[in-house]
Amino acid sequence: MSESARIKVVVNKNACCAYGLCAEICPEVYKLDANGIAYVEEELVPEGLEELAREGAAACPQLAITVTEVND
């Protein structure tokens, strides 16, 4: 078992106001569409990117990103 738990992130596109801070902090997880709205291609965060994904979610001024720990 790894020290950092696996996490899943979900972006509420309706709440996103296109600040783009999440994608600046963790571009491997958070992407921006043509309008600057954040999305994720895969909800399960790749191993090793958990801390950056959490930082990206925490930086969201609209609190549009939900982070959930995943139990294997």
| Residues 44-61 pLDDT 10s | 999 999 999 999 999 999
| Residues 3-25 pLDDT 10s | 557 999 999 999 999 999 999 99
Domain-embedded: residue 2: no
User: Residue 38 belongs to what H/E stretch?
Assistant: strand 38-40
CA distance 43 to 31: 12
CA distance 17 to 3: 33
Domain-embedded: residue 14: yes
Domain-embedded: residue 41: yes
Range of the structural domain that residue 26 is part of:
7-69
Number of domains in the chain: 1
E-assigned strand segments in the chain: 7-11, 30-32, 38-40, 65-69
In CATH, what number is assigned to the domain containing residue 53?
3.30.70.20
Domain-embedded: residue 1: no
Domain-embedded: residue 54: yes
